[in-house]
Amino acid sequence: MEYAIVDIETTGGAVYNCGITEIAILIHDGEKVIDEYESLINPEQSIPAYITGLTGIDNAMVEGAPTFNEISERLWELLEGRVFVAHSVNFDYGFVRECFKRSGRNFKEDKLCTVRLARKIIPGLSSYSLGRICEHRNIPILARHRAMGDARATAILFDQMIHDKPEIILSSLKKNSGEAFLPPHFSLAKFRQIPEKCGVYYMVNERGKVIYVGKAINIKERFKNHFSGNLLPGLKQKLKAEVLDLKWEITGSEMMALLFEAIEIKRLWPKYNSALKLPKAMWGLFYYEDNSGFSRFQIAKVTKHLRPLETFFSSEEATTFLKDGIKNFQLCPRLCGLRKAPCVDGDSLSCQGTCSSSLNPKEYNALAAQLVSRIKQSQQEILLTLPGREEHEKTACVFERGILNRFGYFDQEKDLDYMLANMNPVPSVPETYYILKQFLPYLKAEQIQVLKSVS
């Protein structure tokens, strides 16, 4: 049996949005390293400055380098039929597999993680990072955070472990099929039906009740990891004892999986989902006219009976926003609910005369109206177009005030009017705002369309 010890450098941590900038592969025959390969790779996207600071790889270095597709044949020769070995293997394996997928190949090989192996063979360390383990074992790392430097150090570590405890290596290979870790009431036939696609999955107990909802880039791999790793052992044992079945929804993209997961957790309230279950209190900026005819702003918690001018996820966020509005549009802090006493000249937030009666309601309300207009201009309803579940399909999502409002899956040729008329409405889940904020910088301009301003 031969092993391919792999290390990669990338433009970031997200498989679907980032690319590989460097790869190193060392072939180990169970006794020693017998072959080596390394190459810079043009990721066909810009390398962020903080990544350059970490790895030393910049845009100029990869400008003339081959793309992954151009060296995919050589990489396939090196990896095919060999056990894929890496430190935190799912990261490297996930990127390599996705890049092969883009090149039209389905990469699927057995894999071993030197982090997991080290926990068994070298117990008791405070950290199992590559640097800490190598320091403990006196293994040199000649070029940290470069592919070949880290790969050579990983190869030395692997070589030591396979010679010290070969039975653990072989045992881990047998278990990595995932089948040895299946819950006692979960059938092997069902496990083999689980798709290796991106989506949302539902763990179901014997009464047919959903007890856990999750999202995954690879549903089958993620389900297996629930029961084969050391993460959250208490939760693992509870799920293992109860789960009888698994259902899933393919979403086509990681962003859609995250959005749908948030919606489904709020809808189903599964007992083993700790995150997202508790409702978040929203804060609003409210706008009204008082008995004296002056426009007023007030920050308060949002209720189902009152619709605010703008919403926020904390009172602090709302206060900061309002203070900026006071400063930019020369509003009165007292009329904005940020001061009880009349304003005094020289204050950091002083009004333009409402407290001294030198500014009448009409003049002041014209200033307040500018802030209201600016807020409404920023509340644009947008449509995002994401990959669909199949090649012929696309996903369309509409966000109102930054929160997912409705979505649907459509054939590629369907136009905007058809999609807007046939989308599925969803309940308002505040967490979708954060998901939009996370992915928006990575979307292409043609994926984003402004529909209208929210009234």
Q: What is the largest CA-CA distance in the chain?
A: 89
Residue 68 pLDDT more than 90? yes
Joined together, the tokens standing for residue 222 give 């993620």
Question: Which one has a higher pLDDT value, 187 or 162?
Answer: 162
How far apart (Å, rounded) are the C-alpha atoms in residues 27 and 5?
A: 6
Indicate if the pLDDT at residue 228 is higher than 90. Answer: no
Least confident of 17-26, 40-49, 149-158, 307-316: 307-316
pTM over cut 0.75? no
Does 270 have pLDDT greater than 70? yes
Domains, the chain, in order of start with CATH, read: 3-175 (3.30.420.10), 179-268 (3.40.1440.10), 283-377 (no CATH), 380-453 (no CATH)
The gap from C-alpha 190 to its chain's centroid, in whole angstroms, comes to 28
- pLDDT at residue 106, as a whole number: 92
Per-residue pLDDT at 353? 80
Answer whether 333's CB lies under 8 Å from 343's CB.
Answer: yes
| Angle formed at CA 405 by CA 404 and CA 408, multiple of 5 degrees | 90
What percent of the chain has pLDDT above 90?
A: 54
Position of tokens 């068994």?
120
Q: What is the mean pLDDT of the chain?
A: 88
Ordered DSSP codes for 119-154: HHHSTT-S--SHHHHHHHHT---SSTTSHHHHHHHH
For residue 442, name the pLDDT band (cuts at 50, 70, 90).
confident
Per-residue exposure over 411-425, b if at least 16 CB sit within 10 Å of its own CB, e if not: eeeeeeeebeeebee
Would you state the structure tokens that stand for residue 394, as one six-digit string?
């696309």
